[in-house]
Amino acid sequence: MTFTTSDEVVVDTALLAGFADVLGSRSDTFAVPVIFRVTVILAHEAMDSGTVPSDGIVHTAESLRVRRQPRVGDRLTGLLTVEEIHHRGGATQLLVRSDIMADGEVAPIAVTTSTLAFRTEGTG
């Protein structure tokens, strides 16, 4: 099962400045917030499909590997892949991987992995 971003995220100075304002910094690169923006889009695609509920989700594990920082001018897209599904004790656990791609590059600039848990519908 895979999901892709519906629109690309264009990394521009306004996007970076917004994160700088929130974080109280003057840095021009913020890998985690920019990458997180793409992963949020992917999560909404999975929720809109009905595969993942829109509430009651718990992140039980998460990791991020960054190959390179997003840069001004990058056009980022993402691919979320559900790698494993487990049903235990009335809950469903999904192991998902999100590959964050910059236009024109073969390898992802970042990869996140998450384990998401939510109550399986119809169980106590």
Q: What is the pLDDT of residues 81-121, one digit of tens each?
A: 999 999 988 888 999 999 999 998 999 999 999 998 888 76
Q: 100 vs 35, which has greater pLDDT? A: 100
Q: Residues for the chain: how many in total?
A: 124
**Whole-structure pTM over 0.75, yes or no?**
yes
As to burial, measured by CB atoms within 10 angstroms (0-12 exposed, 13-18 middle, 19+ buried), residue 80 is buried
7-11, 26-30, 61-65: segment of lowest average pLDDT: 26-30
Q: Strand, coil or helix: what is 108?
A: coil
